[in-house]
Amino acid sequence: MSQRVKIKQILLSDKANYEVTVKGWVRTFRNNQFIALNDGSTNSNLQVVVDFENTDPLLLKRITTGAAIGVTGEVIPSLGKGQKVEIKAKHMEIYGDSDPEAYPLQPKKHSLEFLREIAHLRFRTNTFGAVFRVRHALAFAVHKFFNDKGFVYLHTPIITASDAEGAGEMFRVTTLDMKKPPLTPEGEIDYKEDFFGRSTNLTVSGQLEGELGAMAFGEIYTFGPTFRAENSNTARHLAEFWMIEPEMAFYDLKDNMDLAEEFIQYVIRYVLENNREDLEFLAQRLAEEEKQKPQAERSELGLIEKLEFVLNNQFERISYTEAIEILKNSKPNKNKKFQYPVEDWGTDLQSEHERYLVEKHFKKPVILTDYPAAIKSFYMKQNEDGKTVRAMDILFPGIGEIVGGSQREENYDKLVGRMKELHIPVEELYWYLDTRRFGTCPHAGFGLGFERLVLFVTGMTNIRDVIPFPRTPKNAEF
Ligand code: 4AD
Ligand code: MG
């Protein structure tokens, strides 16, 4: 048998008249003659031409949609349209049969909702093949970007005793017997008896530990799974999602925004340059979906134009206070079209407000800064005005918030003061506060929700379709 070659490699070159072995899964088998074979290396199938008159009929019967096969044969120029080369089968082997009656993936268009129910098989479709190759490329680009800049990839813990965001949306981790937990004299569950000798949870963010790393390496990033038990059943929220969190010593808020913008543009450019075929497939898919919508709701730009637009235009930077003024005076606010009317300074922005700013008012990504302290986390640097903090959120069209970050409060007394106001346990976080006691310095960082980035880049509209196995309220299948 000749060496196994990936289909992508065969289709990339014009070379013909050489023998190869390919292995993959049958997408279709037409006229007992033409197999469309896919091995996951590319969205394109390789056409395998079978000499059915000289092939064992029992073998032919086993070539069905979904079956895993190997083919050895000669690569020859193709006469049919759609491909430059095809392969003339000389020897075929079936590794795994696939009963066409039972196999859920038929060679036809399936709805995304249906495919979500068979997420264990959906990688084998064109759409999810493209989405997850792009997801992979984005992840690789994330590491390349930070590595090339000299950032250290720091693995922060998954199991922790702290609530980094102070929002209380944590999944508890315990080995206690839930039916008969040990109790304290006061009748509370006694977590001293638990595995770690204390109460622990899955991390909501690696930031606090990331800050410790930044205070030694200067610049670090994390890229790992994070968990939030927020009961938001939306197309933008997952209970388990991946987050990238860079943290940089000697950066102020502006440096932080500059880095975030450069970073997002870098990873988008990377996939435009390296995943063109998949992006073009996804662009076409999106264009077809858009055609179903009424004219007024269709987006002005196609997927690729939208990605290029982000590369070629600076993000708009405005303060929360300016945003509130724009929103207050906006048409939908005056015409009472917002579900949550914008009246007072200090209220949190709802996604309808974020989308108005990005999609209608500025028509480009927007960085909002200097939010009211009351609606942001304890660790953010307090501004002189005594009301706002040096926070920044990046808002994207069709997505809403894609990045949340800030300059950090590096002053020990101010930080402890804020923690006390918010009833955050100062003693437990002694290790975090030590960075402010020993060689503190201005520093900043942000968190980018990886799935929201993948949503934007692939043009998919539901976050459940850009992570292999989504975890959402009442759903942990697979
Ligand atoms: O704004 P968040 O909560 O910020 C933090 O966790 C900071 N510790 C980050 C930092 O400064 N190092 O979350 C950051 C991003 C959001 O902007 C959003 O993109 C994403 O994480 N995100 C979610 N993505 C999917 N599902 C959820 N439930 C998400 N919650 C946040
Ligand atoms: Mg946020």
- pLDDT tens digits, 389-408: 999 999 999 999 999 999 99
Q: Averaged over 313-339, what is the pLDDT?
A: 96
- Looking at 107, 136, 151, the residue that finishes a domain is 107
Q: Averaged over 335-350, what is the pLDDT?
A: 94
Interacting residues of 58 by C-beta distance below 8 A, sequence separation 6+? none
Percent of the chain with pLDDT over 70: 100
- With a 6 Å cutoff on the Cβ, whether 451 touches ligand 1 is yes
Q: What is the pLDDT of residues 106-145, one digit of tens each?
A: 988 999 999 999 999 999 999 999 999 999 999 999 999 9
Q: What pLDDT does 1 receive?
A: 66
The answer to the question of residue 144 being in a domain is yes
The number of the ligand 1 atom at minimal distance from the alpha carbon of 393 is 17
- Looking at 56, 77, 107, the residue that finishes a domain is 107
The number of the ligand 1 atom at minimal distance from the alpha carbon of 247 is 12
Q: Averaged over 247-257, what is the pLDDT?
A: 98
Q: Is there a single domain that holds both residue 301 and residue 450?
A: yes
- With a 6 Å cutoff on the Cβ, whether 449 touches ligand 1 is yes
Q: Is there a single domain that holds both residue 32 and residue 101?
A: yes
Q: Is there a single domain that holds both residue 213 and residue 272?
A: yes
Q: Is there a single domain that holds both residue 236 and residue 316?
A: yes
Full residue range of the structural domain in which residue 288 is found: 124-169+204-465
135, 452, 453, 455: which to mutate for ligand 1, most atoms within 8 A of CB?
452
Q: Is there a single domain that holds both residue 152 and residue 51?
A: no
Residues with CB under 5 A from ligand 2 (ion): 404
Q: Is there a single domain that holds both residue 89 and residue 235?
A: no
Q: Is there a single domain that holds both residue 407 and residue 332?
A: yes
- With a 6 Å cutoff on the Cβ, whether 228 touches ligand 1 is yes
241, 381, 390, 406: which to mutate for ligand 1, most atoms within 8 A of CB?
241
Q: What pLDDT does 296 receive?
A: 82
- CA dist 227 → 55, 202, 219, 236 (Å): 54, 6, 24, 14
* Mean of the per-residue pLDDT values of the chain: 96
Number of domains in the chain: 2
- Looking at 107, 139, 156, the residue that finishes a domain is 107
- With a 6 Å cutoff on the Cβ, whether 446 touches ligand 1 is yes
Q: Is there a single domain that holds both residue 297 and residue 416?
A: yes
Q: Averaged over 443-466, what is the pLDDT?
A: 98
Q: What pLDDT does 122 receive?
A: 97
Q: What pLDDT does 81 receive?
A: 81
Q: Is there a single domain that holds both residue 290 and residue 335?
A: yes
The answer to the question of residue 191 being in a domain is no
Question: In this structure, what CATH number is given to the domain that contains residue 53?
Answer: 2.40.50.140
Question: In this structure, what CATH number is given to the domain that contains residue 289?
Answer: 3.30.930.10
229-233, 239-243, 378-382, 411-415: least confidently modelled range: 229-233
Residue in this structure with the two tokens 């998954």, named with its chain if needed: 158
Q: What is the pLDDT of residues 32-90, one digit of tens each?
A: 999 999 999 999 999 999 999 999 999 999 999 999 999 999 999 998 888 899 999 99
Q: What pLDDT does 168 receive?
A: 80
Q: What pLDDT does 448 receive?
A: 98
